[in-house]
């Protein structure tokens, strides 16, 4: 369990993180989302005691990170910025970290296998690709078999196979009852991995919600129907909680019921359907709507229309 209380970080006049309050629960993958420059990395660095908050505090497993007697067993962290010496081998890097906790060599030899680095452990980090560097970071995070994982943009630089691997890894770690906090600026990636979302923009909390709720608040699911008897179908479908909008003469967009119900209703009344398409508001769109006001670097023309 990770808890942030009024976390605030100020550099001179710039407030990078502004009174963040959120809770990350065990057993699920929590996505930490925000556009570039939203303050995700700074927040994670504060959680790990690398940056001191200007105001507020945070706890992991009920206590401040810096007071844990064995931090590696409590929290495994992957930072966005490179935090290895390129001249060491992966094994020596992991061994140096393990020594501080008395973690045995057998564990150090095992974690590269967990992270898909088998065979590269005794190569110098200098020659690693971006993806291998990420895998090494994951291996380091898993060293102490921690109850909490904090991973900053773990899919960065991974190939499609690596992305799939990390998705499964995160899900299985959460299924074991661990707390998993994963940051990303890609909503589409989070939609596939995370159950819970903490969304920030310009250092402020924009949403602390589930993936499903975010879609619902963003307009929810709808069904697009094309039929020559649009008016007749419209009358038949009308009911409490159902909202129907009309596009062209033979096109309906139905909110509040599903394609199964619409199809059955149409069949029962012998109304021909030319098209029956369930539509989900893309999470990407919901994310953009949410963060529109808070992106730091924006293209001149809004891109949102083109992406729907």
Q: Which residues bind another protein (CB under 8 A)?
A: 45, 48-52, 65-66, 68-73, 77, 79, 81-89, 92-93, 95-103, 140, 144-147, 176-178
All residues at 6 or more sequence positions from 39 whose CB lies less than 8 Å from its CB, including other chains: 9, 16, 17, 18, 20, 200, 202, 203
d(CA 47, CA 206): 19
* 8 Å CB contact between 90 and 120: yes
Output the smallest distance, CB 119 to another protein, in A: 19
Output the smallest distance, CB 67 to another protein, in A: 8
- Our CB check for another protein shows the closer of 77 and 182 to be 77
- Our CB check for another protein shows the closer of 53 and 116 to be 53
Output the smallest distance, CB 283 to another protein, in A: 30
Output the smallest distance, CB 121 to another protein, in A: 13
Burial level of 63, CB count in 10 A (0-12/13-18/19+)? exposed
Structure tokens at 176: 């074991």
Burial level of 77, CB count in 10 A (0-12/13-18/19+)? buried
Count of CB atoms situated within 10 Å of the CB of 137? 23
Burial level of 229, CB count in 10 A (0-12/13-18/19+)? middle
Specify the residue for token string 């929810």. Answer: 220
- Our CB check for another protein shows the closer of 152 and 189 to be 152
Output the smallest distance, CB 193 to another protein, in A: 20
- Our CB check for another protein shows the closer of 86 and 302 to be 86
Output the smallest distance, CB 84 to another protein, in A: 6
- Our CB check for another protein shows the closer of 21 and 145 to be 145
d(CA 299, CA 89): 42
- Our CB check for another protein shows the closer of 39 and 191 to be 39
């Amino acid at each position: 369990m990770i808890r942030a209380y009024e976390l605030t970080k100020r550099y001179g006049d710039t407030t990078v993180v502004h009174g963040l309050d959120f809770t990350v629960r065990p057993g699920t993958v929590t996505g930490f989302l925000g556009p570039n420059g939203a303050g995700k990395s700074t927040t994670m660095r504060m959680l790990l005691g690398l940056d001191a908050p200007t105001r507020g505090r945070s706890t992991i497993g009920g206590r401040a990170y810096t007071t844990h007697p064995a931090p590696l067993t409590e929290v495994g962290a992957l930072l966005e910025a490179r935090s290895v010496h390129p001249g060491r081998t992966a094994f020596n890097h992991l061994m140096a970290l393990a020594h501080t906790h008395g973690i045995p060599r057998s564990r150090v030899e095992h974690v590269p296998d967990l992270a898909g680095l088998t065979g590269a452990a005794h190569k110098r980090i200098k020659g690693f690709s971006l993806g291998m560097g990420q895998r090494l970071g994951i291996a380091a995070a898993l060293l102490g078999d921690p109850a909490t994982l904090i991973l900053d943009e773990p899919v960065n630089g991974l190939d499609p196979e690596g992305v799939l691997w990390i998705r499964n890894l995160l899900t299985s770690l959460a299924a074991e009852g661990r707390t998993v906090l994963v940051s990303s600026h890609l909503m589409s990636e989070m939609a596939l991995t995370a159950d819970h979302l903490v969304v920030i923009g310009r250092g402020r909390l924009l949403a602390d919600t589930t993936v499903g709720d975010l879609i619902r608040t963003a307009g929810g699911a709808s069904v697009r129907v094309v039929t020559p008897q649009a008016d007749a179908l419209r009358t038949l479908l009308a009911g409490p909680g159902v909202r129907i909008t009309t596009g062209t003469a033979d096109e309906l967009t139905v909110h509040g019921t599903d394609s199964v119900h619409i199809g059955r209703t149409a069949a029962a009344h012998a109304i021909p359907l030319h098209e029956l398409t369930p539509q989900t508001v893309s999470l990407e769109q919901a994310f953009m709507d949410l963060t529109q006001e808070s992106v730091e670097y924006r293209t001149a023309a809004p891109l949102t229309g083109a992406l729907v």
